[in-house]
A and B are shown apart, each in its own frame.
Chain A
């Protein structure tokens, strides 16, 4: 096993946060991680969505967003930091972008590139795949 390939298909803030936390600690521990953001998971990275913090949020995520006495970094901050200190790459799904007629400039500036399914499978070939 040479790391994790995480398919992030959910736009729920709890899942986004969990993926970011796990990917961050893994990458910081020198465990390679590829995150493939697709479907609603990709749309959570839309720059306007992130700026408005307009996420699908259950009780835990609502508490996180409302927390005043604790520093809870948003998933985008955690992933950005992880990429600076460890082997973590973030890819956007080409199909999702094509359907919405978007390009990478529409999303927060975190992505290492755009991949289709075949490209992702190549990246994931030697990794444990986790679907979220």
Chain B
């Protein structure tokens, strides 16, 4: 079993609906240094699908998407 990723920044957007979590993530990613690893927490299933689309388009790296038993996902993104 692999070690859980250790983010530099955690963005907790649980409770927010699309596009809130994505907007929260973008707001943190834009001013950050390259190489910074983010964990976005969201309970919004549409964001779970939409955020990776943005990550690819923006040229960042999607490290992992982890589903938790208590109804949310952790999306790990590395700023490139």
- Do A and B truly interact? yes
Interface residues on A, range: 10 to 19
A29 at the interface (CB under 8 A from B): yes
Most B CB contacts (10 A, CB to CB) among A28, A69, A71, A82 go to A28
Q: Given the known A-B contacts A25-B54, A29-B58, are A71 and B20 also in contact in the complex, defined by CB atoms under 8 Å?
A: yes
A89 at the interface (CB under 8 A from B): no
Which residues of chain B come closer than 8 Å to A71, judged between CB atoms? 15-17, 20
* Chain B interface, number of residues (Cβ within 8 angstroms): 14
B26 at the interface (CB under 8 A from A): yes
A38 at the interface (CB under 8 A from B): no
Which residues of chain A come closer than 8 Å to B16, judged between CB atoms? 70-71
Chain A, residues 71-85, CB within 8 Å of chain B (1/0): the string is 111000010011001
Minimum CB distance partner of B43 in chain A: A70
State which of A25, A69, A85 has its C-beta within 8 Å of the C-beta of B19. A25
A69 to B17, CA, bound (A): 10
Output the least CB separation between A25 and chain B (Å): 5
A24 at the interface (CB under 8 A from B): yes
Binding site for A on B (CB under 8 A): 15-20, 22-23, 26-27, 30, 54, 57-58
Binding site for B on A (CB under 8 A): 21, 24-25, 28-29, 67, 69-73, 78, 81-82, 85
A-B contact list, 9 entries, CB within 8 Å: A21-B18, A25-B23, A25-B54, A28-B30, A71-B16, A71-B20, A78-B19, A82-B23, A85-B23
